[in-house]
Amino acid sequence: MSEAAPSSSIEARALTLALGGTPVLDGLDLRVAEGEFVALVGPSGCGKSTLLSVLAGLAEPDAGDVLIDGRAAPGRLGHLTLMPQSDALMPWRTVLGNVRVGPLLGGASEEDATAAARRTLARFGLGGFEDHYPHALSGGMRQRAALARTMLGGTRMWLLDEPFGALDALTRADLRGVLAETWMRDRPTTLLVTHDLDEAVLLADRVLVCGPRPARVVGEVAIGLPRPRTLDDLVDPAFSVPRAEILSILRSTGALA
């Protein structure tokens, strides 16, 4: 990751979008402040991934605006790093080749890009797999490679769509720690979509809750807990209280029985 890249605020104003005649986003507003870590939770199919595509500049809304640092940003594609829900690794490139892309696009030399990619892969437990192609990795390993690529994406605006979704519980806890550490060091503006409420509370400054489709933010919970936060903290009432608040908002939307 290039620490010289700007970390800016990201804002959605009244985003509205229908797909195939189905309203998916409905006047959705949200703001992630510069260097803030926001988690977004909501029922399956409510429109979270669609929202990230619009924020990243991959899809156009029918109405509403995306603002970066308070300004309309029609040319934002490539200025935010999106880690899609599917790992989206390039199958024709090795793991190293996939992870080197960010630094190379950012102007790093071949040597520096390779060194940065190797270091990051080692941190993600993929040392020794640099020359493997994605098809020869397990689902969890592909997810780790995709996360490594995101972190070297050269921007400090991250949109992460369930980055730990395909991982077993142990790897998930481990990589969450790596993400928290990297975020604390570099303070990228981060929007994380997750279904895991513990994960949201462990990682985020604020948790936004979406109701059922079409997506709108129906509530938010601030997580004012000190960092670093660990799995052991989850039993602390200071963690269970915001978690219960998120659950209660989800329940009030009818998303939970």
Ligand X SMILES: Nc1ncnc2c1ncn2[C@@H]1O[C@H](COP(=O)(O)OP(=O)(O)OP(=O)(O)O)[C@@H](O)[C@H]1O
> Which stretches of the chain bind ligand X, using CB under 6 A?
19-20, 22, 24, 44-50, 85, 213
Q: Which is nearer to ligand X, 26 or 34 (CB)?
A: 26
Site string for Mg ion, 2-41 (x = CB under 5 A): ----------------------------------------
The CA distance from 208 to 201, in Å, is: 11
Beta-carbon-side half-sphere exposure of residue 242 (alpha carbons within 13 Å): 25
* From candidates 49, 98, 143, 155, binder to Mg ion by CB under 5 A: 49
Helix locations, the chain, DSSP H = 48-56, 95-105, 110-123, 139-151, 169-186, 197-203, 237-252
Asked if 181 and 128 touch (Cβ cutoff 8 Å), the reply is no
User: Quick one: what does residue 94 bind among Mg ion, ligand X, none, with the CB cut-off 5 to 8 Å set by partner type?
Assistant: none
Residue 19 binding partner per list ligand X, Mg ion, none, with a CB distance cut-off of 5 to 8 Å that depends on partner kind: ligand X
In the stretch 85-114, what mask flags binding to Mg ion with x, by CB under 5 A? x-----------------------------
Partner in contact with 122, chosen from Mg ion, ligand X, none, beta carbon below 5 to 8 Å by kind: none
Cβ-based nearer residue to ligand X, 49 or 114:
49
Distance CA 231, CA 173 (A): 8
Closest CA to 159 of 60, 72, 52, 86: 52
CB closer to ligand X, 137 vs 215: 215
CA separation (Å) from 139 to 7, 86, 95, 148, 168? 30, 10, 13, 14, 10
Residue 201 binds: one of Mg ion, ligand X, none (C-beta under 5 to 8 A by kind): none
The item of ligand X, Mg ion, none sharing an interface with residue 156, based on CB under 5 to 8 Å by kind, is: none
Which of Mg ion, ligand X, none lies near 50, with the C-beta cut-off 5 to 8 A by kind?
ligand X
Q: Is 13 helix (H, G, I), strand (E, B) or coil?
A: strand
Of 9 and 85, the one with the shorter C-beta distance to Mg ion is 85
Q: Strand 217-222 vs strand 206-210: parallel, antiparallel, or unpaired?
A: antiparallel
CA distances from 45 to 41, 213, 223 (A): 11, 7, 25
CB 163 to Mg ion: min, Å: 12
Phi–psi pair at 143, nearest 5 degrees: -65, -40
Closest approach of ligand X to the CB of residue 129, in Å = 27
Q: Which residues bind Mg ion (CB under 5 A)?
A: 49, 85
